[in-house]
Structure 1
């Protein structure tokens, strides 16, 4: 009997045998696999097997070609530089007075080095130097790009390298903007930097880019660009029906300067957006970003109680300082009564209960000094009785906590604790119930996390975990305060330290949105939304890109409403159908009706069956993308039509189907 050897990445490469035959270290040098030619003045070319990278050293346009399929990266966008006097100016990398061309190699990478200097900034000669690298990595078959700043008095503040894909010559652009968007070449509406958080730039790990990659697809072949240094990176997204979609990579300064080498990787992929998502999944598994829910359960067995459970989001109290009234208020004793009603009427074997507003003045007030427990909803004793009720029923209770906002009337408010912007000002807003707030520097956040939760443990009201608001929903913060300077990378590291404290000391840790960097740490995020415009219409075609990568690594609740529209969804979409396609954890109200419970039960059963399984495929069954189908690793197939409201779930052994708008459910058992 012959044994089958597992395939490797190398097996797919045309030079795999050459690698295996190498007899000396010299035989594995990159220049043994990648060749360099200057085909004409300024036209530089790298070749490795059936892959060719062409670089125009004059306009910095790049073409990557493999097996006859070519994708073009345009001339990079304008950059920005700041002189020593503080004045900032637009520059073009193509305007360098001097361009020195050479080659370099390391490991499996061989490429072209362009050393750009002689820039004129604001009409003055500047000492700025920028090194651009474009190479081929024979170990993976990818193209690798680096931007290396050499800054003295002149700082590079913003740059693009490489440029954007030529979006006018593709079938569609795929972006993990929120949960995921497909923008067809002929999409009829203009899209202009939706949800951007830095001018027109959407930073990585914010709503504009849950995961640090995007791509284009044409004729069953795709190209995807991946930020390998994403903390200070972002995109500028623009689409017009006339010219297609442009997604420009942006490298952002860190504490005033570019400061370090920025790197991106370009992969050519056989297939469409599903192939791109599966490619990124393998990268996340390789670099440790991916950590499965099964592994998290092995570390924290109680987490298994979330699989197939509904999630209840309740608020004990929210006080509005402007009106002087409680806008939300459910005492703990009343919460117990509401859960007992659900138990009596419907049964409730599992429950994950997220509680807002246990603090002194309730939800979104006085943070990060929200303790002690507020009296109005029942005080310490009322909260402890609610916890005792939950634990008698083996329900899980977690608390909302917030460690980014600092309200101006918080007892420990001190402007020296705040994030200081580069211009010497602070972010101040007056949007939430508790009134005006600033942002506390994340270097101080863990101290508040520890103090507040030590208090809760000391009074006998320790939760089963905590939801740390906002940390996973916004890109990294910077702080210019001389006593606690902080880069965006520092910010992510410090937020993770807060998550880890909760995980190690209390259990389940959750946050708001599904940023890629949180996957190896968080157990749950409260939503993976789809982008909608101010008229509550989808910007383009929603895709579950996040679920294709991380379905079995992050628990994500979904609304289960059967009418069109909600706070998080397009006015044309039915939330229940999104919950089915992504096989999420169902939200359920403490005031749920019988139909609400039935709908949540359908989603909970699906989640219970496939929460620990990969979404292996996704299909669009209609040209407008409104009818979609997801496939899971056990063969479960979910189909949902946002136009008609029809849905079906084909499990191994039975099929369920119905209509969300005209509520109906039927089950057929398979032989």
Structure 2
């Protein structure tokens, strides 16, 4: 048994099993003995303990003490790596590092490390926090199985808005932050009824090799709840210089203030579903192709204005000649049958005459083969030379545009919009903050996932430099410094049919960290007699969707629910926008589940404003602070 300790934290490594025992002020955390650290190669799966040579040494250095472990020789190859676990003396942070030493002879697929904590107890005050979507709290007693995670729990996607997870048992907890999240994620398991939840990490290669140090940062807390774990992460990103609030962003782009208290309208112009698309309906051809003139959308805006709606942001899909999700990145001119550039400009001018804001849907990842400029040389290429792609979306066959090229296409396309008199207030660059970063092995433009996030960020930064507010599909930790608003930041259950059981209690983990950094529009549907999404908009201190016409039926939360008239929705939105005016730039300081099942929840903002929502009774209470 190897042991290190500093202050109130002690860590012991069992050399026979590689299990860890961690003690913090008398509270013990053990790694799960059933979850042994493993290496998954293309050639087979091996435990760390299968190494031909293993050594462990305790050491100390200028800022702490640690245990260095070296593992070498797998399946007759020289493949080798080391792990370093150590305690930082100044604040008792516990660090876990995986470091490649020799990558000859085997082809890595995944490393399952750090492994899960043992977390078996049939109590509802033992719970796990996952950053899938807005946030998920899973009591050990939760009746519904967790099942498959979005994007397999990959950090920096909708499966992991933030690169951390945590657990709390009887008010003692930990937060595990991945400080190198670009090729990592979490794996979690919760069977129906519990009585346990398991959550550990996975690491994957970049361009075929592990090639850099992977790091996790653990903070152990006593007398805490999920709010404290979120604020631990907020403090960490503040220390990294990564926390950039809306107030700070508004120094560069003052028009951010115009989005506060705004109703969002999402609608479109042209739909073209190619025969190769997964959405093509051969039995109902009218569903595959349609055009709504710009003048019809202009009239729709006039009707909204006549209802007295003071602030509106219009997100317009399918505005270009190819049609929605077709021929990107070659997405001009404006749709001719809908009125062309003249008709589009008339719509934009009407928006501005009313003091409203206008923005477009655009796309610089899906690289359609039908695009006139499509060149396979600029599609993302895997290390084995293959070029991934599919035909799912409306535009049919596609690859992925290497993000090294995306900033150039953004500049080209937006110059064309400007030349034709289209004055944009905002722009939505689709999927950048929902999907994983891409990698490209083409030697002309090699790109890692980390590089990809940088190039995507460059696209957002260019928009902001032109006075165009930046948006994308969802939210993601890497994009917060660049992102002003998003399409939505929903709970995971909102993207499934209303009758689907929740995988846990929805809690706003993302907003407890980032509420004052990004403006989030929220769905306002009454999806069933038992579920009204307006309550979640209020709890989140978010902006409301006045109109939300999803581009694809039964996808991305676009499900049929109770029909609400525009007049009634306008009144509902007034309640939400009044609260948003008050709270948009404030930190969400605390959230509370006032009942064990989460059916009554409370949010509190930094000025004392609070919201209480009873989801069972579908009622709410708002108290405004100073």
Identify whether the pair has TM-score above 0.5, normalized to the shorter chain: yes
Is the Cα–Cα contact under 8 Å of residues 37 and 113 in structure 2 kept in the other structure?
Answer: no
Task: Give the whole-Å Cα distance in 1 for the aligned partners of 2:194 and 2:472.
Answer: 40
Q: SS at the partner of 1:128?
A: strand
2:433 corresponds to which residue?
472
1:237 and 2:188 matched = yes
Is the Cα–Cα contact under 8 Å of residues 173 and 245 in structure 1 kept in the other structure?
Answer: yes
1:16 corresponds to which residue?
none
Is the Cα–Cα contact under 8 Å of residues 212 and 226 in structure 1 kept in the other structure?
Answer: yes
1:10 corresponds to which residue?
none
Q: TM-score, normalised by structure 1?
A: 0.85
Corresponding residue to 1:321 among 274, 279, 296:
274
- Give the C-alpha shift of residue 46 in structure 1: 1.1
Is the Cα–Cα contact under 8 Å of residues 155 and 186 in structure 2 kept in the other structure?
Answer: yes
Corresponding residue to 2:262 among 284, 309, 314:
309
Offset from partner CA, 1:317-376 (integer Å, 9 cap, x none): 2222336656554322122212212222x2132111111111112211111111122211
Offset from partner CA, 1:164-216 (integer Å, 9 cap, x none): 12121471111111111111112223223321x3xxx4211112211011111
- Give the C-alpha shift of residue 489 in structure 1: 0.7
Q: What runs of 5+ residues in structure 1 fail to find an aligned partner?
A: 1-42, 566-571, 654-671
Q: SS at the partner of 2:13?
A: strand
Task: Give the whole-Å Cα distance in 2 for the aligned partners of 1:321 and 1:116.
Answer: 52
Task: Give the whole-Å Cα distance in 1 for the aligned partners of 2:92 and 2:39.
Answer: 32
Is the Cα–Cα contact under 8 Å of residues 132 and 153 in structure 2 kept in the other structure?
Answer: no
Task: Give the whole-Å Cα distance in 2 for the aligned partners of 1:77 and 1:204.
Answer: 22
1:408 corresponds to which residue?
369
Pick which of 389-398 and 177-186 moved more.
Answer: 389-398
Task: Give the whole-Å Cα distance in 2 for the aligned partners of 1:355 and 1:552.
Answer: 26
Q: TM-score, normalised by structure 2?
A: 0.91
Task: Give the whole-Å Cα distance in 2 for the aligned partners of 1:328 and 1:628.
Answer: 43
Is the Cα–Cα contact under 8 Å of residues 130 and 160 in structure 2 kept in the other structure?
Answer: yes
Task: Give the whole-Å Cα distance in 2 for the aligned partners of 1:370 and 1:557.
Answer: 26
Aligned ranges 1:169-180 → 2 under 5 Å: 169=121, 171-180=126-135
Offset from partner CA, 1:494-528 (integer Å, 9 cap, x none): 11111111111242000011111111110011111
1:141 and 2:115 matched = no
1:342 and 2:304 matched = yes
2:205 corresponds to which residue?
253
Corresponding residue to 1:183 among 138, 143, 147:
138
Task: Give the whole-Å Cα distance in 1 for the aligned partners of 2:586 and 2:61.
Answer: 38
Q: SS at the partner of 1:598?
A: helix
Distance 1:340 1:107, change over 3 A: farther
- Give the C-alpha shift of residue 452 in structure 1: 0.7
Offset from partner CA, 1:468-500 (integer Å, 9 cap, x none): 000000111112223322211111111111111
2:344 corresponds to which residue?
383
1:331 corresponds to which residue?
293
Aligned ranges 1:98-497 → 2 under 5 Å: 98-119=53-74, 121=75, 125-155=76-106, 156-169=108-121, 171-195=126-150, 197=151, 201-240=152-191, 241-242=193-194, 244-270=196-222, 271-322=224-275, 325=286, 327=289, 329-344=291-306, 346-497=307-458
Instruction: Report the count of equivalent residues.
Output: 592
Task: Give the whole-Å Cα distance in 2 for the aligned partners of 1:494 and 1:609.
Answer: 34
Task: Give the whole-Å Cα distance in 2 for the aligned partners of 1:469 and 1:615.
Answer: 27
Is the Cα–Cα contact under 8 Å of residues 157 and 258 in structure 1 kept in the other structure?
Answer: no
Task: Give the whole-Å Cα distance in 2 for the aligned partners of 1:160 and 1:52.
Answer: 24
2:551 corresponds to which residue?
none
CA RMSD in angstroms comes to 2.0
1:34 corresponds to which residue?
none
- Give the C-alpha shift of residue 81 in structure 1: 5.5
- Whose Rg is larger? 1
Offset from partner CA, 1:230-273 (integer Å, 9 cap, x none): 11111111112355111121111111111011110110123111
Distance 1:107 1:231, change over 3 A: farther
Higher relative contact order, chain-length normalized (CA < 8 Å, sep 6+): 2
Task: Give the whole-Å Cα distance in 2 for the aligned partners of 1:160 and 1:136.
Answer: 22
- Give the C-alpha shift of residue 560 in structure 1: 1.6
Distance 1:58 1:415, change over 3 A: same
1:542 and 2:506 matched = yes
